[in-house]
Structure 1
Amino acid sequence: MCAMAIFGIVGLILFELIMRSRLSIAKFGISFFFTQAWDPVTGAFGALPFIYGTLVSSFLGLLIAVPLAIGVAIFLTEMCPQFLRGPLAFLTELLAAIPSVVYGLWAVFVLVPILRTDVNPLLARVFGWTGFFGGPNYGIGMLAAGVILAIMILPVISSLTREVMISVPHSQREAVLALGATRWEMIRMGVLRNARIGIVGSIILGLGRALGETMAVTMVIGNRPEIARSLFAPGYSMASVIANEFSEASDDLYLSALVEIGLALFLVTIVVNALARVLVWAVTRGAPARVA
């Protein structure tokens, strides 16, 4: 009964979101997700800028976090001295316990000035020809949101990647080394190759965390419902628009449109997290228990 209660709660959440968004679904249909207009005054609502902002900031966060997280996992699992392994693993996982609003405050007072004065001008000079690093340099924008998301999802990806790598049998490592492989070749062919499905699962789980992040992203993304090619430009995410405008919804259609955005975000997050769990389970299901 306790286990079924969890499914009941999820079902009730889904039911309530569907019921509350019926007005928007009936008026806009599927075009709601392909329209850029967001004008509460005229009653024109479209979720495309928020979907774009959510996807761009999340994938940018993954692009930054995945190499760092896998590097941390490899070091802690295969190279780190025993006396450092515990403290470093604890400090890495401690990042996941920091409240989102604290990340946002740190980003506003530390990250955004660094991006505005040092990082963004350098990127504009080197990669400005791509069109992704041009335009006004406010500091806040898609790039800032991507960087703060990368920091927030790094411990999630790193800890799960470590668990998946630990589950690879030691006989795989010994067999590769016995064939004359170097230490890095052993890690690349004996460990990472066998753990790749679980690593992909941990990355997707990190994506699920990034998609639903609200407070920190709201504080640095700029909150402008526009689609721009430049990563310096402000944007808007699905979670941010709900947090910012839900209390300001002045009519039923406005409220229904916000709830429909929440419904889409809920469904996407559930699917992404379920897929990630399945991939991680596919690798770790036969792993023996270990003592930390």
Structure 2
Amino acid sequence: MDISTKTTDAPPPAPRPTETEVKRAARGATRPGDRIFLGLTRGSGILLLVIMAAIAVFLTYRASLAISKDHGNFLTTFEWNTNLLPPTFGIAVLAFGTIVSSVVAMLLAVPVAVAIALFITHYAPRRLAGPVAYVIDLLAAVPSIVYGLWGALVLVPHMNGLFGWLNDFFGWTGLFSWDQGAPRSMLTVGILLAIMILPIITNVSREVFRQVPRMHEEAALALGATRWEVIRMSVLPFGRSGVISASMLGLGRALGETMAVATVLSPSFDIQASLLNPGGGTFAQNIASKFSEATEFGRDALIASGLVLFVITLLVNGAARLIIARRAEYSGANA
């Protein structure tokens, strides 16, 4: 018995849906809870932008009232006398002190924080890594005034030996010359700020280093790399963007720190070439020390200095975002 089979051609493939059709289908299939959550998240983002804009408008308006009556140059005057007629005030000393103290803090804190993060994630045994990480987390919860009291009562009295050593061996640079005054200077402030921002940078860097793909490290070990070579070739390139983000978080706290700086620093409206001699000031410290006794015009002047700090913070964060965006493709995060 002959059985004949009839072959038929396969049906042509269905056309792929366009992007518009996919989006439309997704919107139709979205559950009410998803739509509510989308609306809440979008509203939160918009609310944040509105709050930032409102702060900027408020600061700009109140600052314009004070700057319009300033008899000196707001950017270059080495004086802060808002009760004079006409008033004379400027931010030159405050801007210099804020930037210098923050830079000193970053130079001291970032290498130590990265080293601690690497020790916890790649060198310390598990029994030791847990307690060390816990202690670092506790340091981040200490209030600023406690750091300030510790700095004034413990750190400052013990800085004479360090200042004397720096003056003996590096005083010829001018940057570390010391006139034997009280060690309430920018270097002391920078050391205190470095201790304060150390937990922030360490914790974020630690979490970033833990996200390094295990296969990257195993591949380096398989090629005969030492532990340090694994860290240098696999861990640090992957976590570079995260370390930069952590550093910017620490820098943000250093720029705006108030009570600790006000407790330790001996302020004056002059710029010292040496980091060891008392003098200088910061935006936050000046606002905290003068706000309670300032007149209405004096508060507007302090708000004007706060506007400058606000702009500096925005510029720092913007620069960090640009650096991270440029480094992202080399970090290994997409591998």
Calculate the TM-score normalised by the size of structure 1: 0.89
* Number of the residue aligned with 1:14: 56
Partners in 2 of 1:11 and 1:34 — Cα distance? Answer: 27
Matches within 5 A, 1:239-254: 239-250=284-295, 252=297, 254=298
Partners in 2 of 1:224 and 1:241 — Cα distance? Answer: 10
Partners in 1 of 2:266 and 2:260 — Cα distance? Answer: 11
* Number of the residue aligned with 1:164: 208
Partners in 1 of 2:317 and 2:206 — Cα distance? Answer: 18
- The answer on whether the counterparts of 1:205 and 1:272 sit within 8 Å (CA) in structure 2 is no
* Number of the residue aligned with 2:191: 147
- The answer on whether the counterparts of 1:132 and 1:231 sit within 8 Å (CA) in structure 2 is yes
* Number of the residue aligned with 1:259: 303
Shift of 1:79: 0.6
Within the candidate set 82, 89, 114, 2:133 is matched to: 89
- The answer on whether the counterparts of 1:35 and 1:45 sit within 8 Å (CA) in structure 2 is yes
Partners in 1 of 2:206 and 2:332 — Cα distance? Answer: 15
Larger Rg: 2
Within the candidate set 166, 170, 173, 1:123 is matched to: 166
Shift of 1:87: 1.5
Shift of 1:3: 4.3
Structure 2 stretches lacking a partner, 5+ long: 1-42
* Number of the residue aligned with 1:113: 157
Shift of 1:78: 0.6
Shift of 1:96: 1.1
- The answer on whether the counterparts of 1:215 and 1:240 sit within 8 Å (CA) in structure 2 is yes
Partners in 1 of 2:216 and 2:72 — Cα distance? Answer: 50
Matches within 5 A, 1:56-95: 56-95=100-139
Question: Once the two structures are superposed, what CA deviation does each residue of 1:180-227 show, in whole Å capped at 9, x if it has no partner?
Answer: 111111111111122222212221221111001111011112121211
Please tell me the residue identity of whatever aligns with 2:139.
L
Shift of 1:58: 0.5
* Number of the residue aligned with 1:290: none
Partners in 2 of 1:101 and 1:169 — Cα distance? Answer: 40
Shift of 1:22: 1.4
Within the candidate set 22, 43, 46, 1:4 is matched to: 46
Question: Once the two structures are superposed, what CA deviation does each residue of 1:199-256 show, in whole Å capped at 9, x if it has no partner?
Answer: 122212211110011110111121212111111222200001111111222352x322
Partners in 2 of 1:49 and 1:218 — Cα distance? Answer: 15
Of the structure 1 ranges 71-80 and 124-133, higher mean CA displacement relative to structure 2 is found in: 124-133
Of the structure 1 ranges 43-52 and 81-90, higher mean CA displacement relative to structure 2 is found in: 81-90
- The answer on whether the counterparts of 1:214 and 1:239 sit within 8 Å (CA) in structure 2 is yes
Please tell me the residue identity of whatever aligns with 2:53.
G
Q: Aligned in 2, Cα 1:249/1:286: closer, same or farther, shift over 3 Å?
A: same
* Number of the residue aligned with 1:236: 281
Partners in 2 of 1:285 and 1:249 — Cα distance? Answer: 53
Partners in 2 of 1:31 and 1:10 — Cα distance? Answer: 27
Question: Once the two structures are superposed, what CA deviation does each residue of 1:126-146 show, in whole Å capped at 9, x if it has no partner?
Answer: 111111122233121111100
Please tell me the residue identity of whatever aligns with 1:132.
L
Shift of 1:63: 0.9
Partners in 2 of 1:18 and 1:29 — Cα distance? Answer: 19
Identity of aligned residues (%): 43
Partners in 1 of 2:70 and 2:189 — Cα distance? Answer: 29
- The answer on whether the counterparts of 2:175 and 2:274 sit within 8 Å (CA) in structure 1 is yes
Task: Determine whether 1:211 maps to 2:255.
Answer: yes
Which structure carries more helix by proportion?
1
RMSD, aligned α-carbons: 2.4
Partners in 2 of 1:256 and 1:275 — Cα distance? Answer: 29
Determine helix, strand or coil for the equivalent of 1:201.
helix
Calculate the TM-score normalised by the size of structure 2: 0.78
Question: Once the two structures are superposed, what CA deviation does each residue of 1:24-46 show, in whole Å capped at 9, x if it has no partner?
Answer: 33345994123223233351111
Partners in 2 of 1:140 and 1:150 — Cα distance? Answer: 15
Q: Aligned in 2, Cα 1:244/1:113: closer, same or farther, shift over 3 Å?
A: same
Matches within 5 A, 1:26-41: 26-27=68-69, 31-40=73-82, 41=84
